[in-house]
A = this chain, B = another copy of it.
């Protein structure tokens, strides 16, 4: 796939993520931004502008129609909008069978580092006796633990069950309420809230005489853009529907 083929239309260009995507595509030497659509703009502009790929960063109400339009016009789609439930995914897979060669990537999380960290943590959790998670966020966050921490714990727990790894050892007999954190499928998860922080997560794995720590720090929204660009660069070689950025990372984990 040569560089001139990545002609990108950004949908939702007026939003916070969309405006970051516009900047990222403009800065990428192997891409050109051919259209940037906001609320109310006609999808026809995408085709008229000669786009080969779309990035959809709109809203749950319009993302399905946008992606179907792209597929029908033979354009690859990289989608960060939420709202893709099982029924929508099924309808999209059906649509894609009629358009061989077209690729759609739908990813709930475009932070490459976060996706890698979760995949590594799940793999490594199979080989260590103990496993815990610390997640740290700004103090305006209303839920604890973070959704990413819960998903990471679930992935780690599933990987451990697969190899029949017993629960982490823990001799605690007396504790102040909450000291040992929340427990998500046998994995203890601790949530720190601290002014100055953004979104951070550390997975700690221990065995006799050693520790492995995998930490991801998100400092700002710009961290999602390398994942979007990777999606655009990889899509043409992965026809059909891919759910989750890890599907493009060849992790083989």
Asked if A205 contacts B113 (CB within 8 A), the reply is yes
- Given A134-B192, A192-B134, A210-B113, are A139 and B171 neighbors across the interface (CB < 8 Å)? yes
Pick the interface stretch among A7-15, A52-60, A121-129: A121-129
- Hey, which chain B residues are within 8 Å of A174, CB to CB? 142-144
Task: Assess the B216–A127 pair: CB atoms within 8 A.
Answer: no
Which chain A residues in 207-253 approach chain B with CB under 8 Å? 207-226, 230, 249, 251-253
> Is the contact region of chain A dominated by helix, strand, or loop, or is it mixed?
mixed
Q: Is the CB of B226 within 8 A of A216?
A: no
The distance from the CB of A22 to the nearest CB of chain B, in whole angstroms, is 15
B195 touches A191 (CB 8 A): no
Which residues of B are found within 8 Å of A184, using beta-carbon distances? 176
Q: Is the CB of A197 within 8 A of B191?
A: no
Number of copies: 4
Q: Say whether A206 faces chain B, with CB atoms less than 8 Å apart.
A: yes
In the assembled complex, the CB of A184 is this many whole angstroms from the nearest CB of chain B, namely 7
Residue in contact with A134 in the complex, picked from B171, B177, B190, CB distance below 8 Å: B190
Q: Which residue of B lies closest to A24 (CB)?
A: B208
* A155 neighbours in B (Cβ, 8 Å): none
CB-contacts of A18-66 with B (<8 A): none
Which of B113, B182, B204 touches A177 (beta carbons < 8 Å)? B182
Is A100 an interface residue when CB atoms closer than 8 A count as contact?
no
**Chain B residue contacts of A144, Cβ below 8 A:** 172, 174-176, 179-180
Contact B116 A127 (CB under 8 A): yes
Contact of A211 among B169, B197, B226, B253 (CB under 8 A): B197
Query: With A141-B171, A174-B143 as given contacts, are A194 and B211 in contact (CB-CB < 8 Å)?
Result: yes
Shortest CB distance A21–B (Å): 13
The chain A residues found within 8 Å of chain B, CB to CB, are: 111-114, 116-117, 120, 123-124, 127-130, 132, 134, 136, 139-145, 168-184, 188-198, 204-226, 230, 249, 251-253
25 chain-A/chain-B pairs, Cβ below 8 angstroms:
A113-B124, A127-B230, A130-B195, A132-B194, A140-B169, A141-B172, A144-B176, A145-B175, A169-B193, A169-B195, A178-B179, A178-B180, A179-B190, A181-B181, A195-B206, A196-B207, A196-B217, A207-B223, A209-B218, A209-B219, A210-B218, A213-B214, A251-B252, A251-B253, A253-B253
**Beyond A113-B205, A127-B249, A211-B216, 11 extra complex contacts between A and B, CB < 8 Å:** A112-B127, A113-B210, A120-B124, A130-B196, A134-B192, A145-B175, A176-B182, A180-B191, A208-B226, A209-B221, A210-B217
